[in-house]
C-alpha cells in the first residue's frame, strides 16, 4: 500500500512539473487538427481589404493585376470613392457589406488598419459575421498592419474556435512599396501556402517568407521596427557631427552623404538621407520625432528575454525627449538637427507627419549659436569623414546584433537558417535593407550564431570600438549629444 501511495505522489509531482510543456503541445496539436479540417484545398481567388489608405490601396491594385478579384472598405467615404475610381475593385460602406459582396468560395480578408482597438473591433465583427453564416470555415484573415505578437496569438485562438484562420503578415517597404514589399508571415503554414498567389503579387522575389506559428510574423516585424528606429538615430547623430563640422551647409552635407552611399552603410536609409539633406523644407522641420510606438514592443520583449538593447533604449528615450522641445518659443539647441533629420527621413519613408517651425532656421543661425566644427577641430576633411563613417558602420552593426539576438532568444525558435531567411526577406524590399544585412545573411547561411556573425563582420571590415570612442570625443568637444553612441560604448566597456 505504501508503495502505491508513493508511486501516486511521484506521478502527481511529475504531472505538475510537465503541465506547462504538455498543455501547449496538446493545444498546438488540437489547433493543427482543427486547421487541417477547415482549410481544405480551395484556391484563393478573392481578397477583401479593410483599410484603403496609401499602403492598402496600393496593395489592392497590385493584387488585382494577378487575376484576383478585389473588394474593399474604409471608414473614410472619400477614400472609398478614390478606390472606386481606380477600377481596381468594388468598395463597400463597411466590413459586413464587403463580405456580402464577395462571391462563393474561400474569402481572404486583409486588415490594413492601425494596431490595437481597430484590429480588435474587426476581429469581433468577423466572428459575428461567421456566426451569421456570412463567413465559412476555412476563410482566412490576414492582419497586415503592425500588431503586437502576443495579442495576435490570442486573436488567432479566438478565430480558430470559429474555424477561421488568422495569419500575421508584417509588411515593410514604405507606402509606395506594393509589389516590392518585404513580408514576414506567421501563422498556420498551410494557410500561408494557400495565400502564395497574393504574397507573390505583393513581394519581390525573396521578399516574403514564413517564420513560425501565430505571432512569429508580427514579432520579427516589431524587431525590424526597433532596428529601423536605431538605424535612424545612429545615422542622425553621426550626420549632426558632420553637419557641425561643415558649418551646417546642407549642400556640402548632401555631397558627403551621396559619397557614403557607396560605402559599407549603403542602404535605402542612406538614399532617404540624401533626399533629406537636399530637401528645401529641412530648415522648417521641428525637432519632434512623432508617432511610431512599435519599437517599444521590441524593448519589452528584450527585457522579457533578458537581452540587452542599449542602442534601442537610448533611441526610444531620445524620441521621448524630442517631444518635450517647445516649438512655440523655439531656441536652437545641440541635438535638434538630428531630431529634425529623423522626422523628415520618416516622412520620406512612410509619409509620417512632422511638426513645422514658425521660423526658418538657416545655416547661418545655427553657426551663430552652435559654431563651426572645422574651426575647432584640427582634423583633415577626408579623415574626419572616414572616421565618422567607421563609427556609424560600427553603430549599425551593434544595432543589428541587438535585433538578431532578441529574435534568436524568442519562443519562436528561429535558428540560424531562419535568421538567414529573415535577412533575405529584409534585403528584398524592407526599409532596413542594407549592405550590412547582406553580410549577416551570408554568415547565417553557413551556420554561424549571432555573436560569431557580428564579430566576424566587424573583423572583416576592420571596425573597432575605437571609432565610437573617437566620435564621442569629437561630439563632446562640439557639445553635440550622441545618446545612442554613448549607450553602445558604455555597453561594450
Task: State the first-to-last Cα distance of the chain, in angstroms, to the nearest integer.
Answer: 63
Asked whether residue 354 carries a pLDDT value surpassing 50, the answer given is: yes
| Phi, psi dihedral angles at 73 (to 5 degrees) | -145, 155
Q: Highest mean pLDDT range out of 20-24, 95-99, 259-263, 270-274?
A: 95-99
Beta bridge partners of 181: 203
Strand duo 90-92 + 46-50: pairing: unpaired
> Residue 68 is placed in which grid cell?
484576383
Show which of 179, 214, 249 is a domain's final residue. Answer: 214
* Interval 87-99: pLDDT, tens: 999 899 999 999 9
Residues 33 and 44 both lie in one domain: no
What domain range includes position 1? 1-38
Q: Which residues contact 289 (CB under 8 A, 6 or more apart)?
A: 318, 319, 322, 323, 339, 342, 343, 346
Sign of the Cα torsion 447, 262, 388, 224 reads: negative
What CATH number is associated with residue 268? Answer: 1.10.1040.10
Please, is 175 exposed, middle or buried when counting C-beta atoms within 10 Å of its C-beta (0-12, 13-18, 19+)? Answer: middle
Measured between alpha carbons, how far is 206 from 450 in angstroms, rounded to an integer?
22
Q: At 292, give phi and psi (nearest 5°).
A: 75, 85
My answer on whether 156 and 24 are in the same domain is no
pLDDT at res. 175: 61
pLDDT tens digits along 114-131: 999 999 999 999 999 999
pLDDT at 27: 42
155 in the same domain as 50: yes
Pair (33, 84) in one structural domain? no
Measure the CA angle with vertex 148, ends 428 and 342; round to 5°: 60
What are 36-77's pLDDT values in tens digits?
Answer: 445 555 678 899 999 998 889 999 999 999 889 999 999 999
Dist. CA 107–CA 216, nearest whole Å: 23
pLDDT tens digits along 253-263: 999 999 998 89
Are residues 273 and 287 located together in one domain of the fold? yes
Phi, psi of 280 (to 5 degrees): -65, -20
Pair (349, 454) in one structural domain: yes
Domain count of the fold of the chain = 3
Q: What is the pLDDT at residue 374?
A: 85
- Return the CATH number at 194: 3.40.50.720
Number of neighbouring beta carbons within 10 Å of residue 277: 23
- Do 384 and 295 belong to one domain? yes
Same domain, 393 and 441: yes
- Which of 199, 214, 229 is where one domain is finished? 214
| Mean pLDDT, range 235-248, rounded to an integer | 95
Residue 289 confidence class, pLDDT cut points 50, 70, 90: very high
Over 70: is that where the pLDDT of 4 sits? no
Q: Please tell me whether residues 93 and 9 are part of one structural domain.
A: no
pLDDT digits (tens, 9 = 90+) for 452-487: 999 999 999 999 999 999 999 999 999 999 999 999
Q: For residue 400, name the pLDDT band (cuts at 50, 70, 90).
A: very high
Q: Would you say residue 138 has pLDDT above 60?
A: yes
Q: What average pLDDT is seen over the chain?
A: 90
Q: Mark which of 149, 179, 214 sits at the end of a domain.
A: 214
Query: Residue 28 pLDDT more than 50?
Result: no
In this structure, are 172 and 246 located in the same domain?
no
C-alpha cell at 437: 544585412
For residues 109 and 139, the answer to whether their CB atoms sit within 8 Å is yes
% of the chain surpassing 90 pLDDT = 79
pLDDT exceeds 50 at position 140: yes
The percent of residues in the chain predicted with pLDDT above 70, rounded, is 90
Residues 126 and 184 in one domain: yes
Residues 364, 400: one domain? yes
* Cα–Cα distance for residue pair 481/472, rounded to 1 Å: 9
Asked if the model's pLDDT at residue 3 lies above 80, the reply is no
Q: What mean pLDDT do residues 288-315 have?
A: 93
Read off the pLDDT of each residue in 380-399 and give the average, rounded to a whole number: 96
Does residue 200 carry a pLDDT above 70? yes
| Residue 200 Cα distances to 195, 332, 395, angstroms | 9, 48, 34
Amino acid at each position: 500500500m505504501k508503495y502505491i501511495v508513493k508511486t501516486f505522489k511521484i506521478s502527481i509531482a511529475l504531472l505538475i512539473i510537465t503541465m506547462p510543456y504538455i498543455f501547449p503541445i496538446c493545444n498546438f496539436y488540437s489547433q493543427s487538427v482543427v486547421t487541417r479540417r477547415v482549410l481544405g484545398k480551395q484556391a484563393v481567388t478573392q481578397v477583401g481589404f479593410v483599410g484603403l489608405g496609401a499602403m492598402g490601396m496600393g496593395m489592392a491594385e497590385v493584387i488585382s493585376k494577378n487575376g484576383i478579384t478585389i473588394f474593399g472598405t474604409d471608414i473614410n467615404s472619400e477614400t472609398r470613392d478614390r478606390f472606386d475610381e481606380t477600377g481596381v475593385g468594388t468598395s463597400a460602406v463597411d466590413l459586413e457589406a464587403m463580405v456580402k459582396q464577395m462571391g462563393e468560395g474561400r474569402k481572404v480578408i486583409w486588415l490594413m488598419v492601425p494596431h490595437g482597438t481597430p484590429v480588435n473591433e474587426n476581429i469581433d465583427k468577423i466572428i459575428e459575421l461567421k456566426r451569421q453564416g456570412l463567413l465559412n470555415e476555412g476563410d482566412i484573415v490576414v492582419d497586415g498592419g503592425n500588431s503586437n505578437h502576443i495579442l495576435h496569438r490570442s486573436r488567432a485562438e479566438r478565430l480558430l474556435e470559429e474555424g477561421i484562420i488568422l495569419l500575421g503578415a508584417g509588411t515593410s517597404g514604405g507606402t509606395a512599396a506594393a509589389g516590392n514589399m518585404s513580408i514576414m508571415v506567421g501563422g498556420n503554414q498551410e494557410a500561408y501556402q494557400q495565400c502564395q498567389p497574393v504574397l507573390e503579387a505583393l513581394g519581390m522575389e525573396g521578399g516574403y517568407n514564413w517564420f513560425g506559428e501565430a505571432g512569429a510574423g508580427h514579432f520579427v516585424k516589431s524587431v525590424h521596427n526597433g532596428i529601423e528606429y536605431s538605424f535612424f538615430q545612429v545615422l542622425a547623430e553621426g550626420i549632426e557631427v558632420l553637419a557641425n563640422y561643415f558649418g551646417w551647409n546642407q549642400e556640402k552635407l548632401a555631397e558627403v552623404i551621396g559619397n557614403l552611399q557607396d560605402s559599407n552603410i549603403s542602404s535605402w536609409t542612406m538614399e532617404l538621407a540624401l533626399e533629406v539633406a537636399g530637401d528645401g523644407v529641412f530648415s522648417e522641420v521641428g525637432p519632434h520625432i512623432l508617432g511610431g510606438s512599435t519599437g517599444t514592443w521590441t524593448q519589452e520583449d528584450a527585457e522579457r528575454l533578458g537581452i540587452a538593447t542599449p542602442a534601442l533604449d537610448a533611441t526610444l528615450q531620445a524620441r521621448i525627449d524630442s517631444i518635450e522641445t517647445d516649438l512655440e518659443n523655439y531656441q536652437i539647441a545641440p541635438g535638434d538637427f538630428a531630431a529634425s533629420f529623423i522626422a523628415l527621413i520618416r516622412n520620406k519613408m512612410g509619409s509620417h507627419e512632422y511638426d513645422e517651425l514658425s521660423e526658418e532656421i538657416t545655416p547661418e543661425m545655427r553657426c551663430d549659436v552652435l559654431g563651426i566644427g572645422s574651426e575647432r577641430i584640427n582634423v583633415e576633411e577626408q579623415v574626419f569623414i572616414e572616421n565618422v563613417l567607421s563609427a556609424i558602420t560600427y553603430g549599425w552593426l551593434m544595432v543589428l546584433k541587438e535585433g538578431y539576438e532578441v529574435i534568436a532568444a524568442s519562443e519562436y525558435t528561429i535558428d540560424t537558417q531562419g535568421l538567414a531567411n529573415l535577412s533575405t526577406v529584409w534585403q528584398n524590399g524592407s526599409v532596413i535593407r542594407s549592405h550590412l544585412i547582406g553580410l549577416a545573411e551570408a554568415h547565417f547561411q553557413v551556420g554561424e550564431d549571432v555573436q560569431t556573425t557580428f564579430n566576424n563582420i566587424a573583423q572583416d571590415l576592420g571596425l573597432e570600438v575605437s571609432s565610437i570612442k573617437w566620435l564621442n570625443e569629437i561630439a563632446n568637444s562640439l557639445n553635440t549629444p550622441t545618446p545612442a553612441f554613448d549607450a553602445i560604448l558604455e555597453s561594450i566597456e
